[in-house]
Structure 1
Amino acid sequence: MDKTILFGGLTPIHERLIQGAVESQGYKALPLPVPDNQSLAIGREYCNRGMCNPTYYTVGNLIKFLLEEQKKGINVEENYIFATIGACGPCRFGMYETEYKQALRKAGFKNFQIAILNQTTFSSEGTIELTPSLIWQLIKAIWTADILREIGYRLRPYEVENGSIDKLLTEQTETLYHILKKGGKVKEILKSLYQFRKKLQVIRFNFSKVKPVVAVIGEFWAHTTESDGNYHLHRWLEEEGAEVRPEPIAGWIDYQLFITEEKLKKEIKAKGLSKNRIKSLIATKSLSIALKGFYNLLRSVFSFLPKELPSQKYLAQLASPYFDYMVVGGEGHLEVAKHVYYVKHKKCHMVVSVKPFGCMPSTQSDGAQAKVLSDYPESIFISVETSGDAEINVKSRILMKLFEAKKLAEQELSNALRKHKITKREFENACKSENLQKPLIKRSKNYISTAAQVLDANAKQIKSLIREKFSDGLLIPTKNG
């Protein structure tokens, strides 16, 4: 195929690596620019009323790009094709394909081609063939991008030199893009990640900074995008003093496989065993296990710092008192399940659930969240809707909750300091030591905040530094310098 495949809607890291994966199969590929509010305006102009803002942003972003290319004299219908995910169900996501086609016709691109990649059946419609080889390449790209993205959010808030993590991530993303474009053998990806780990070790971090951990969940596009579509929520939270926990895309695919497996089990129970059903069930289960194993293999490169993928079966159990996991559409039961999981297992100080204005599945989840909050009153939780405007209102609401989370993180560190009989000043001074500035330093599981985790896991070393090198908070050289 001579046409260039356009795609978009994920993070810049994901899209660059996906580009490499697609190009490895002989296609030409190009990620669209990050959607902005101009994309929203164009989407609203050409789409039906009542759609969610992910529709407006993604459709508008495509049309904006095509119009700009057309001004350059490029025949976009002959040179480009757009690939997007297809689905069905109660969510408006199932209507995206229709909205793309209608909006393109209105914008004057009636012959522009769209390829649909079905997320549940791993099939395709159009000129792009979703082969096993392409699927495997995409999985390697997405899983690796998940890991890189989380490493950034885990370490960037503590970097001593601002911009050092982003610079290294940009370089590593380009390196992995070229590896994936050439076929992306797992061995080569792992080798590159280990080299990235070595480069990380050179960067210094100050883990005495007290920052609340904030998990961002909600509707898939709204909690994934890093654009005007969610007011650049992740980076803004960082700027406001938080450590952000983004959701990996691998978790979404793991969820899709779990639902497929559960549907097959119910079908077998209702209709009985058959060769095809047993074969499909074994294949789905095996794929789920293999993909989670691959994800853990990538995590192991960084001493398992990126968070694990929780068991989908366990998440369904956590959600069961509030939400039937077989009610699909959007993120289904996951918004409720993730909230309970993060609070019950003390994975974060605060949960932000972000979703498009009027998102039906998320509205259902919000109804159940009221009961979750009554059962877990210690939770600091806020649900916000994004519509392309009302940014000040949304952020001011989040800031009020973030203030509570900051107080909780500070109290947590105070408890850890008392436990080990270390003063805050001593801890801050000890964290200036090179050994305590390493990115993959030991972290305790007894606390949520990174500061408290580092203190708890390295208390003996910190006390030794205090005795040997510190007096009244000042570094005193030893005989060996």
Structure 2
Amino acid sequence: MKVSFPYMGTTVVYKKLLEMLGHEVIMPPKPTQHTINLGVKYSPEFACFPLKVIMGSYFEAIQRGAEVIVTSGGHGPCRAGFYERVHRRILETEGHQVDFIVFDSMFRNRKTFMENVKRLKGQTPMHRVIHALWLVYDMIGKLDHLEKQVQRIRAYEVNRGETTRVWEQIQKMFDQAYTKKALSEAFNKGQEMISAIHLKQVDKEDRIRIGIVGEIYVVMEDSINMKMEQLLNSLGAEVERSQYLSQWVTYNMLPKWMNWSHEKKILQKSDGYLPIQIGGHAKHNVGQMIDYSQRGFDGVVHLMPFGCLPELVSQSIIPKINEDYEIPVLTISLDEQTGIANNQTRVEAFLDLVRGKHQEKKQSRNRVTESVTQRVSPTG
């Protein structure tokens, strides 16, 4: 089959799995303004931004020869659960007969999940399927580990753009790894390349850390979020996302009785503010903001597609979290009409605010330390 998928984040892992299952992979191009314009043209006006971008991405993949699209589902009030139906109907209206394979958590509907697995594996022997799954799962974890380092050290790079170029080279190396040995070599080489990047020396107590939360697509796909990670890094702030593919896979693949993944702990922290699941990642984002505050982060950037119901709910809870945990949060709404220059100015102003608060906390700690030192030191 000629198979494609939505472009989101580190696409090398999706490509790798489908290739190892014997499919011809049609890589969707990274979303551009043309992709967005294409999606906006054919999507309902009030559909959320990810639906429109993915719609444009599908048209581009079909133009390259895609026959089957593999994607994920959703649940609750979040409209992501209906993406496939809307996309399929639009494509059929435009004369494109494309098949969809939609994966949701195996614990919601095990029968449908296994049917999709059988369709996707085709004639591939089961031992090769298991090998592919384990290799790709290992690859996801290793790539996330390296990406977290990139998001931290890029804030201190001496040569602007060097860290991003290294990260792109690392992804290409992983794309060529088809065995456990090759994957391990790619990971070790990636570590060496990251360690060789020239960095400015910044004291630990002077470092600014910003968390990014929001709807998973706009958080993980930098082509539609103004390259938020790189923007914050360029302003001297370390970054950590609320969503990483390895965490999402672990949470959705392990049964509840043995699932003690990062996401489950985060969801528990949100119970006091949002006790039920309302779809999307609203509950997760509320818990993640609390976690960032407890871990000493200086601020949070909240990315939400315009009109996204779950994120509107989480946005309404932010003032209470800010009051209880004293962590600044900047919400940025994203759609096809987003003013990039305006939002970049807002991010810069937010970083100035965060730095001011960080400096106040540092001075307060120093005063406390000096006071304690004076009380315990012997008098002359």
Normalising by the residue count of structure 1, what TM-score does the alignment of the two structures yield? Answer: 0.66
Which segments of 5 or more consecutive residues in structure 1 lack a partner in the other structure? 70-75, 262-280, 293-309, 422-481
Alignment match, 1:128? 120
Alpha-carbon distance in 2 for matches of 1:400, 1:155: 22
Deviation of 1:344 after TM superposition, in Å, equals 2.1
Deviation of 1:96 after TM superposition, in Å, equals 0.7
Q: Structure 1 residues 142 and 199 mapped into 2: Cα distance closer, same or farther (>3 Å)?
A: closer
CA contact (8 A) 1:18 1:142 kept: no
Alpha-carbon distance in 1 for matches of 2:21, 2:67: 17
CA contact (8 A) 1:18 1:141 kept: no
CA contact (8 A) 1:116 1:124 kept: no
Alignment match, 1:114? 100
Alignment match, 1:193? 187
CA contact (8 A) 2:27 2:61 kept: no
Deviation of 1:321 after TM superposition, in Å, equals 1.2
Alpha-carbon distance in 2 for matches of 1:103, 1:132: 35
Alignment match, 1:436? none
CA contact (8 A) 2:156 2:236 kept: no
Counterpart amino acid of 1:193?
Answer: F
> Per the alignment, in what secondary structure is the counterpart of residue 388 of structure 1?
coil
Deviation of 1:150 after TM superposition, in Å, equals 1.5
CA contact (8 A) 1:355 1:384 kept: yes
CA contact (8 A) 1:21 1:141 kept: no
Alpha-carbon distance in 2 for matches of 1:124, 1:162: 48
1:380 to 328, 346, 362: 328
1:201-236, CA deviations, whole angstroms, 9 ceiling, x for partnerless residues?
333211228552211111111111111x22222222
Counterpart amino acid of 2:333?
Answer: E
Alpha-carbon distance in 2 for matches of 1:169, 1:239: 16
Alpha-carbon distance in 2 for matches of 1:57, 1:17: 20
CA contact (8 A) 1:331 1:361 kept: yes
Q: Structure 1 residues 414 and 202 mapped into 2: Cα distance closer, same or farther (>3 Å)?
A: farther
Deviation of 1:416 after TM superposition, in Å, equals 8.4
Q: Structure 1 residues 201 and 393 mapped into 2: Cα distance closer, same or farther (>3 Å)?
A: closer
2:44 to 45, 48, 67: 48
Q: Structure 1 residues 199 and 395 mapped into 2: Cα distance closer, same or farther (>3 Å)?
A: closer
> Per the alignment, in what secondary structure is the counterpart of residue 333 of structure 1?
helix
1:169-205, CA deviations, whole angstroms, 9 ceiling, x for partnerless residues?
23322222211xx2x32x5433432233233333321
CA contact (8 A) 2:155 2:235 kept: no
> Per the alignment, in what secondary structure is the counterpart of residue 103 of structure 1?
helix
Whichever of the two has the greater Rg, that structure is: 1
Q: Tell me the matched-pair count.
A: 354
Alignment match, 1:298? none
2:196 to 202, 209, 217: 202
Alignment match, 1:408? 357
Q: Equivalent residues in 2 for 1:13-92 (5 A)?
A: 14-67=10-63, 69=64, 76=65, 80-92=67-79
Alignment match, 1:320? 271
> Per the alignment, in what secondary structure is the counterpart of residue 66 of structure 1?
helix
CA contact (8 A) 1:5 1:29 kept: yes
1:339-373, CA deviations, whole angstroms, 9 ceiling, x for partnerless residues?
11111221x21101111111111111122222212
Alignment match, 1:371? 320
Counterpart amino acid of 2:245?
Answer: I
CA contact (8 A) 1:46 1:106 kept: no
2:84 to 93, 97, 101: 97
Which segments of 5 or more consecutive residues in structure 2 lack a partner in the other structure? 108-112, 123-128, 371-380
CA contact (8 A) 2:105 2:253 kept: no
CA contact (8 A) 1:212 1:408 kept: no
CA contact (8 A) 1:59 1:99 kept: no
Q: Equivalent residues in 2 for 1:246-257 (5 A)?
A: 246-247=241-242, 248-256=244-252
CA contact (8 A) 2:306 2:335 kept: yes
Counterpart amino acid of 2:279?
Answer: G
Alpha-carbon distance in 1 for matches of 2:284, 2:13: 26
Counterpart amino acid of 2:168?
Answer: T
Q: Structure 1 residues 153 and 418 mapped into 2: Cα distance closer, same or farther (>3 Å)?
A: farther
1:367-420, CA deviations, whole angstroms, 9 ceiling, x for partnerless residues?
2222212212x2111222111223244333333322111223455666789999
Deviation of 1:137 after TM superposition, in Å, equals 3.8
2:307 equivalent to 1:358: yes
1:97-142, CA deviations, whole angstroms, 9 ceiling, x for partnerless residues?
0121012123321x22222222444545484239555543442232
* Aligned sequence identity (%): 19
2:258 equivalent to 1:343: no
Alignment match, 1:214? 210
Q: Equivalent residues in 2 for 1:82-481 (5 A)?
A: 82-109=69-96, 111-121=97-107, 122-123=113-114, 125=116, 127-129=119-121, 132-179=130-177, 182=178, 184-185=179-180, 188-208=182-202, 211-227=207-223, 229-247=224-242, 248-256=244-252, 261=256, 281=257, 285=258, 288=259, 310=262, 312-313=264-265, 315-324=266-275, 326-346=276-296, 348-376=297-325, 378-391=326-339, 392-410=341-359
Alpha-carbon distance in 2 for matches of 1:124, 1:388: 36
Alignment match, 1:437? none
Q: Structure 1 residues 373 and 418 mapped into 2: Cα distance closer, same or farther (>3 Å)?
A: closer
Normalising by the residue count of structure 2, what TM-score does the alignment of the two structures yield? Answer: 0.82
